[in-house]
Structure 1
Amino acid sequence: MNKKLCNFVCLKLRPMMKRIVLLSLLVILPFMTRAQQKFTLQDAGEEREYYLFVPDSLGPHRSLVFILHGYGGKAEGYFPEMHRAAQKYGFILCYPQGLKAPQGKTGWNVGYPKQAGWEQDDVAFIINLQDHLIKEYNIKNSFFSGMSNGGEMCYIMAYKHPERFNAICSLAGLTMEWLYTGPKPVGPVPFMEIHGTADKTSYWQGDPENQGGWGKYVAVPLAVGRMASINNCTHEVCDTLPQIRNVVIKHIFKGDGPEVRLYEIKNGKHAIGNKDLDVPEEMWSFFKQYIK
């Protein structure tokens, strides 16, 4: 193709491409921006903030999914990709806002060294918020998820209050050593973890010497293995997901109790994982198995 013809074709295609992009945005943006609404709740003398995405039609299962942001993050506008799944499957999304520690950033009190002396009880706050939303929306099924610092909260809730949630999903989360070596989880709960093997913030191999500054924590396979043990899992089924970017191996642990999953993202970094797999779809496909 000569240069003049090439320029002519490009000029003709450019308006068409703009229309395609605009139409795509019109389809996507309503789910990404329209429905997060801010609310407040009194908890232990604090006015706590949280954001809700309520779908146009709430399914008969009347499900609620918590999504907790990471350290230094904010709830507003967080993980909007979940909105499409919530609208499609008819569940409510709740994004609580973490408080700022006296010597740190916004987040969840999971026992980091930089949170030393902070008496904030985020477990109690989540339970208080859950009870409030159950009454407000007649919720029948509750699920829990969070990324990084929010992922650490997933393990804490799994250990301390498994009866509170139908299933839990940690995204790049960790089991802190203080939790792992303390009292065992009080009961089983369906659990999944999505984690990159090249995560330089939440190390796949663990951090027994606190080199990263987050405190000591155990290796991801050991953390998930503990959950599999509590759930009486006896065997493993592996599958490799269709490759989008990095290879993702899905480990499914099964047995007499609830299922446990580990999504191992080969060379994956510290992220939700949405560039390597469809996290909202995978999460909901796991959660919906445990709707009551």
Structure 2
Amino acid sequence: MQFQPIADRLVRLAACACWLFLWPLQSVHADVLEVNGQKRTFTLVKPNANKPAPLVMVLHGNTQQGADLMERSSWPELARREGFAVVFPDGLNGSWADGRYPAERAGTVPPTGTDDRAFLLALTDHLMLRGIADPRRVYLAGVSNGGAMALTLACSDPQRFTAVASVIMLMTQGLLDTCTDLQPNPPLPMLFMNGTEDPLVSFTGGQGRAGRAVRGAWSFEETLGFWRSFNGCQDGDARVVQLPNKDTRDASTVTRVESNCPNGTDVLAYRVNGGGHRTPGRSPDARFPKLVDKVLGPQNHDIDGPEEIWAFFQRFSLVR
């Protein structure tokens, strides 16, 4: 047994070495962008092709950094396969200054005066000016606190993005109050992905049951209803599909909920039945998955969150 840690380390090194050979068609850059006199960091994974590509901006959860999502999600592999760029910005103090009221937040908060809206919009401009991002295909996805930041930008700057996905986060009154300028703008395709047993963001609304839970969340149904109304969709679910239970050991299943919306204004949702505060995926989303299972609930393995989000995103392109 004393040799097991060495063996494990060799396996990890070999895996890392193999991973390096998976990047012939894209490159990874850690970079800094100064916004309003403050240096902000991000990591970019982009195709080596010398032409603008679709861009997916992925926002991490509370206490995380962009590297966590890059290392523990399929986004880099998916970008390589599909030929799009993906950028992982870093929030300050492991968090985002989203539009929720302070009483609705939980966990760490950014330094006073942080303007993440300015940072993220400047970053999209920066990548478009560099010829990396196609202005017609700029997509935004966020997880947990990052999902709240994605909803903030969907409300405040819907014209800047082609489609938005929010994972394990729901609307709140604070987020609603950032939506005051929605009406003059065109509808924005939206995707939601939420677990019914999420201890931090209550699926049925209100406050989650965990100690550091989000307060004042709308329910899953109320959140869908708001975006369906804005996008001009009909009330109620258009189609509900139970997806195959590919992993019977993950204590969860997935239901796909579709909306009846005008062409190009879809509102799509994935209800993870029995799922916790986790992004569905093919591989573990945490360093210690069994411990996280106990704290945040199970991670579903029937679908891969990034795969489903990208399948939704790539259906849409802006006319500029």
Q: Which TM-score bucket, shorter chain as reference?
A: 0.7 to 0.9
> How many residues are treated as equivalent by the alignment?
266
The reply to whether residue 287 of structure 1 matches residue 313 of structure 2 is yes
Mapped partners of 2:68, 2:115: distance in 1: 24
Aligned amino acid, residue 197 of structure 2: A
Which one of 263, 270, 275 corresponds to residue 263 of structure 1? 270
The reply to whether residue 192 of structure 1 matches residue 198 of structure 2 is no
Runs of at least 5 residues in structure 1 that lack an aligned partner in the other structure = 1-20, 101-105
Q: Secondary structure at the match of 1:205?
A: coil
Aligned amino acid, residue 119 of structure 1: G
Aligned to 1:108: 96
Q: Confirm or deny: 8 A CA contact 1:36 1:76 kept in the other structure.
A: no
Q: Confirm or deny: 8 A CA contact 1:238 1:249 kept in the other structure.
A: yes
Mapped partners of 2:21, 2:202: distance in 1: 36
The reply to whether residue 160 of structure 1 matches residue 156 of structure 2 is yes
Map 1:73-88 → 2, pairs under 5 A: 73-80=64-71, 81-88=74-81
Query: What is the root-mean-square deviation in Å for CA atoms of aligned residues?
Result: 2.9
Aligned amino acid, residue 248 of structure 1: V
Which one of 241, 244, 260 corresponds to residue 243 of structure 2? 241
Which one of 254, 257, 260 corresponds to residue 251 of structure 1? 257
Mapped partners of 2:111, 2:68: distance in 1: 30
Mapped partners of 1:27, 1:225: distance in 2: 45
Aligned to 1:7: none
Aligned amino acid, residue 232 of structure 2: N
1:115-160 deviations in whole A, cap 9, x for unaligned?
4983211111110111001111252210000100000112111111
Mapped partners of 2:57, 2:144: distance in 1: 14
Mapped partners of 1:181, 1:263: distance in 2: 25
Instruction: Give the C-alpha shift of residue 289 in structure 1.
Output: 0.7
1:213-244 deviations in whole A, cap 9, x for unaligned?
53422112211221111111115112122213
Aligned to 1:16: none
Instruction: Give the C-alpha shift of residue 183 in structure 1.
Output: 4.5
Distance of aligned partners of 1:45 and 1:181 in 2 relative to their CA distance in 1, 3 Å threshold:
closer
Q: Secondary structure at the match of 2:227?
A: helix
Map 1:93-172 → 2, pairs under 5 A: 93-100=86-93, 106-110=94-98, 111=100, 112-113=102-103, 115=109, 118-140=112-134, 141-172=137-168
Identity %: 25
Q: Confirm or deny: 8 A CA contact 2:54 2:85 kept in the other structure.
A: yes
Q: Secondary structure at the match of 2:269?
A: strand
Mapped partners of 1:117, 1:194: distance in 2: 29
Q: Secondary structure at the match of 2:154?
A: helix
Mapped partners of 1:283, 1:183: distance in 2: 23
The reply to whether residue 89 of structure 1 matches residue 82 of structure 2 is yes
> Rg larger in 1 or in 2?
1
Output the TM-score relative to the length of structure 1: 0.81
Instruction: Give the C-alpha shift of residue 72 in structure 1.
Output: 0.5
Mapped partners of 2:60, 2:308: distance in 1: 19
Tell which deviates more after alignment, 71-80 or 194-203.
Answer: 71-80
Q: Secondary structure at the match of 2:312?
A: helix
Aligned amino acid, residue 270 of structure 2: Y
Mapped partners of 2:163, 2:21: distance in 1: 28
Map 1:37-52 → 2, pairs under 5 A: 37-52=29-44
Aligned to 2:294: none
Mapped partners of 1:276, 1:269: distance in 2: 14
Distance of aligned partners of 1:277 and 1:30 in 2 relative to their CA distance in 1, 3 Å threshold:
farther
Aligned amino acid, residue 270 of structure 1: H
Instruction: Give the C-alpha shift of residue 61 in structure 1.
Output: 6.9
Mapped partners of 1:145, 1:52: distance in 2: 15
Q: Secondary structure at the match of 2:66?
A: coil
Q: Secondary structure at the match of 1:178?
A: helix
Q: Confirm or deny: 8 A CA contact 1:109 1:118 kept in the other structure.
A: no
Aligned to 2:5: none
Instruction: Give the C-alpha shift of residue 284 in structure 1.
Output: 1.2
Larger fraction in helix = 1
Output the TM-score relative to the length of structure 2: 0.74
1:245-291 deviations in whole A, cap 9, x for unaligned?
32111111122250011100000011111123122221111011103
Mapped partners of 2:128, 2:277: distance in 1: 32
Instruction: Give the C-alpha shift of residue 171 in structure 1.
Output: 1.1
Mapped partners of 1:233, 1:48: distance in 2: 38
